[in-house]
Amino acid sequence: MKRGKKGDIYSESLELHRKHRGKIEVYSKVPVTTRHELSLAYTPGVAEVCREIHKDKDLAYKYTLKANTIAIVTDGSRVLSLGNIGGYAAIPVMEGKALLFKKLAGIDAFPLCFERYHMEFADDIKNIAPVFGGIALEDIAAPRCFELEESLQGIGIPVMHDDQHGTAVVVLAALLNACRVTKKKFEDLNIVVSGAGAAGYAITRMLKCIGYNPDLCSSVRDIIVCDRNGIIHRHRDGLYANKYKFIIAEETNKAGRTGTLADAMKGADVCIGVSVPGIITPSMVRSMNKDSIIFALAHPMPEILPADALQAGAAIVGTGRNDFPNQINYALAFPGIFRGALDARATRISDEMKVAAAHALADYVKRPGKTRILPSVLNRQVVTAVAEAVRKAAVASGCARAIT
């Protein structure tokens, strides 16, 4: 798939965006065709609604768009595999995500693209929180994304960085079903993660149950995480400059292995790529254990093409793309997670809610196979199943707000 050729997906997408000048717009829910209708929707009638909300701000959920609206917030510093392209260039991706929220989960979402990250970014987000029922952080580079998300957990509405947790949820679901197909035991897996950014960090934490209640999820045997400098291990120079890589080093790579990604993949059961295109070679796949599992999730181009991985001996291959089998994309998670969180009027998204979403996704596929370990992204019934599981988990974990 090359850029610039007439009729390719890139040219077609460019034409679609030019033709429609974007992908979303705002519609009115109420008519405003008479003076009376105007008086109800705006002044003077709206003053009474303002007075009621002033007495009890939770009534904003009852009288305004807040109950079903989220903000998609980015600084454009880590967009797809395009890197730091800024807020303007990030708009098409955020619009696309808003479109999926609406089409799949019935959620009204609006892109808020900042041109750059700055010291008051968290304060800016806190100050827009009154309008929204949730905040989806998107395409913000690590390690700032970790710090930002942590700083926003107490604002009274769910805040989730989808590149981290949405991806981790879908990977867990895909891995559970891949184990069912290959007859591998989840607890016996030795996994390599290529990429120590937002997605790699969250995937590692979830699969190793780092910070999670062990009663919620099982832990794989071990994980080796690789970044651009190779295997992350406890004695690597400069490790302490990044506390998140330090956490990874302390909780993974029990044997203290060193070397490159190729070294890490020798004897592994699973390789999860959340890094850069083409970094995994067929010889690396051949060095893995029998019936290996490859999730090559870099996009638009994966770490290795499915045909190459399968020819090298992989039993199951997934990518982030919808034009290959086994799409492992956070679009399977975020609509249902936020739908469930909004339905519960949750104050945050708990670990219980994330794990519940992963199991709901996996369980939706009754008979998984080598080319179908997850349901389709466009299946709205999947969103319903995930949302209900998340809503119940929100109630059980004490994150749900009483609904009046």
- Known catalytic residues are 42, 97
Cβ count within 10 A of residue 69: 17
Sign of CA dihedral 374, 376, 380, 381: negative
Cα(299)–Cα(88) distance, rounded to whole angstroms?
Answer: 20
The owner of tokens 């995937």 is 203
Cα(387)–Cα(100) distance, rounded to whole angstroms?
Answer: 15
Q: Is 11 left (phi over 0), alpha (psi -120 to 50) or beta?
A: alpha
133 within 8 A of 67, measured Cβ to Cβ: yes
Edge-first strand listing for the sheet containing 230-231: 230-231, 222-227, 190-194, 270-273, 293-296, 316-319
Which residues, listed in sequence order, are joined to residue 172 by a DSSP beta bridge?
none
Q: What is the 3-state secondary structure (H, E, C) of 298-324?
A: CCCCCCCCHHHHHHCCCCEEEECCCCC
Residue 89 CB partners (closer than 8 Å, separation 6+): 76, 79, 82
349 within 8 A of 358, measured Cβ to Cβ: no
